[in-house]
Amino acid sequence: MMNLWPEDNIANNWRSWPFIRYYIFMMSLWLSGLPITFDMIYQLTGNMEELIGITENLVALAAAAGMYYMSGCKRDFVNDTEERVVLYGKIFLIYGIVGNLCYASIPLYQKNDCEFLKAKLHSTNMICGLITRTRLPFDIEQYHLTNVMFCLQLYTCMVITMVVLSITIFLCAILIHLVAEITNLKEMILNVCEENISDMEMRKRLNFCIDYHTTIIEFAFLMRDAFSSMMLVHMTLTSFALSVLGFEILMVKTIADSIRFAMHLGGWIFIIAMTCYFGQKLHDESIDVADKMYSTAWYSCSPKLRKDILFLMMRAQRPLTLNAAFIGHMSLEALLGVLSSAYSYFTLLLNMKS
């Protein structure tokens, strides 16, 4: 619906209606994004006393920047997925909608407390009831535009969630599909070398397994080329967002705000953990192909067949991975690296606060 992956016949036509609709759709997010940016710039040029407010703006802008980059990456390969993956995707999107509604309702619930604090501090910059801090060159409360800005922010949150979750589920579906194909390949490999079949039949089965393995490798390379830069941005933004959200959970003064930021933190961790888990699964299953080949009755094959089997095993010992550009591949080890970097940024923010 959002034309994140346009068809080939319009992929190079920047004046086509799907492209125009896509850019109108993306530009609509800046109706709430620009006021958030203005508020952050105003605070940065001030006395830096509102560190929590600055970090709140940074999280919102980081999520929007990541969504823009993910939706703009070009992907040139087949996008067929299994039906069960589509079902999981719908479940996650429902989770995203419900989570956003809960996330947005907490500031509304605390609006009276915010108004009391605003009157106590005699603050004219604080706008109560909004999802995140914002700033405009005019007083939106005077023109009764607070509810309009709230709706714009909720719309932006929904769009960012839908795009990021859709692309993440699509990527995980590709990884699940690759793992399923490798599992199928390993089952076929076990039937290659049998003592009661002819050498010609063994050759036929082995050639099919080699072609099957080659096709899987080519598909994995296409996936890697399409998503490697995206994963680099994803890991970088996730480390930053986790540290800022952890800082805000500790610094806010109400339990409701802590719960709100904890929900946001859980969403970031869930997305990166899911990608790293399936990336690790692809790595492990691709290496296991060589072990499955070795466990067959290869000794009953002819010397020429054994040589081809050896080449297949040598190639299978090089794992298939989902790379994050030049910094490594998505795995459980990479997840620990993201959490470690987030902790480093978190301690830096604590030192700045103190």
Q: Quick check: is 18 in a domain? A: no
**Is 20 within the bounds of a domain?**
no
C-alpha 169/C-alpha 298 separation (Å) is 39
Give which of 286, 349, 271, 274 is closest to 319, Cα–Cα: 286
| Domain-embedded: residue 15 | no
Please indicate, yes or no, if residue 81 is contained in any of the structural domains.
yes
Domain membership flag for residue 277: yes
Domain count, the chain: 1
Q: Judge whether 17 lies within some domain.
A: no
Phi and psi based region of residue 76 (left: phi greater than 0; alpha: psi -120 to 50; beta: remaining): beta
3-37 pLDDT, tens per residue? Answer: 555 455 544 555 666 667 777 777 887 788 888 88
How confident is the model at residue 8, as a pLDDT? 54
Instruction: Report yes or no on 188 lying in a domain.
Output: yes
- How far is CA 200 from each of CA 167, 193, 197, 203, 207, rounded to the nearest angstrom? 45, 11, 8, 5, 11
Taking each helix axis as running N to C, give the angle between helix 199-251 and helix 51-72, from 0 to 180 degrees, rounded to the nearest 10.
Answer: 160
Q: How confident is the model at residue 163 (pLDDT cuts 50, 70, 90)?
A: confident
**CA atoms of 350 and 185, how far apart (whole Å):** 51
Mean pLDDT for the chain overall: 81
Tokens in use for 112?
A: 């009276």
DSSP letter at 329 equals: B
Residue 3 within any structural domain of the chain: no
Give the structural domain span for 34: 27-353
| Distances from the Cα of 277 to the Cα of 126, 172, 179, 217, 336, angstroms | 42, 9, 12, 20, 12
Q: Is residue 133 within 8 Å of residue 72, measured between CB atoms?
A: no
Structure confidence by residue, pLDDT tens digits, 261-300 = 888 888 889 889 989 999 999 999 999 999 888 888 878 7
